[in-house]
Amino acid sequence: MERLQKIIAHSGYTSRRKAEELIVAGKVTVNGVVVKELGTRVNRNDDIIVEGNILSLEEKVYYVLYKPEGYISSTDDEKGRKTVLDLVITDKRIYPVGRLDYDTSGVLLLTNDGEFANLMTSPKHLVEKEYRVKLQGFLRKEESTLLCRGIRIDNYKTKKAKIKDVVYNKESETTLATIIITEGKYHQVKLMFDAVNHPVLRLKRVRFGIVNLDNLRIGDYRLLKPFELKQLKGLAE
């Protein structure tokens, strides 16, 4: 037998934390009985219903997608724009792990494992995300130092970052650079460079933890390898 919130999270329905909230709110039944006590142990063959939905304990899958620009990192879009799910052929109910902006390309993980998604996106776990960025203007050394130490954006100070591989293009008056962060706040990379007056012109995520774009063409995807999955989970422990 396993804890009810763990089974819900493993099903991919939601994260374990959200599952606990749903249980306490009385939105989960087991064999027709409402369960509100956290830690209740159940069997996988019990009839579990969450918010009126029969829980499906399907096989867990983990993909890495080379997201192109022009796709929404969501399962659907009210404006009718293309989503990353349009690129992945699967019969599983997957969703993005975190997000990349509409105009950002690069590494995006997708899964139906709610607990894994929560591990990868929780601010408690310092999983590195590496981006290649094109900036307007010339990024000075002192500005890089400010960003690496942590900079205040929207009443929040970012955690320490790393900046490397800085290249200047005098003809276009732009900078190419690599930045590595361990957070994933909304528009974070763009806001960080805005704070030092260097708007982002192009942004691509080239690495998430140990997973990169090797051997993937834009728009392609593949299953994560067992050792990649194991190491990603290890990074979040």
Which one from 47, 101, 194, 214 is the annotated catalytic residue?
Answer: 101
Give the span between the Cα atoms of 186 and 107, in whole angstroms: 16
Residue 101 annotated among the catalytic residues of the structure: yes
Per residue in 92-131, pLDDT (tens digit) is: 889 999 999 999 999 999 998 888 888 898 878 889 999 9
Per residue in 168-227, pLDDT (tens digit) is: 999 999 999 999 999 988 899 999 999 999 999 999 999 999 999 988 999 999 999 999
Cβ(203)–Cβ(178) below 8 Å: no
Specify whether 187 is located in the same domain as 159. yes
Q: Is the pLDDT of residue 65 over 80?
A: yes
Domain that residue 183 falls in = 129-208
Q: Is the pLDDT of residue 237 over 80?
A: no
Specify whether 101 is located in the same domain as 216. yes
CATH of the domain at 227: 3.30.70.580
Q: Is the pLDDT of residue 164 over 90?
A: yes
pLDDT of residue 185: 87
Whole-prediction pTM value? 0.80
Specify whether 153 is located in the same domain as 202. yes
Specify whether 195 is located in the same domain as 149. yes
Phi first, then psi: give them for residue 197, nearest 5 degrees. 65, 40
Q: Is the pLDDT of residue 145 over 90?
A: yes
Specify whether 72 is located in the same domain as 112. yes
Q: How many domains does the structure of the chain reveal? A: 3
Closest CA to 104 of 219, 204, 217, 206: 204
Mean pLDDT of the chain: 92
Specify whether 67 is located in the same domain as 80. yes
The C-alpha angle with vertex 115 and arms to 95 and 45, in degrees rounded to 5, equals 100
CATH of the domain at 26: 3.10.290.10
Q: Is the pLDDT of residue 62 over 80?
A: yes
pLDDT of residue 158: 94
**% pLDDT > 90, the chain:** 71
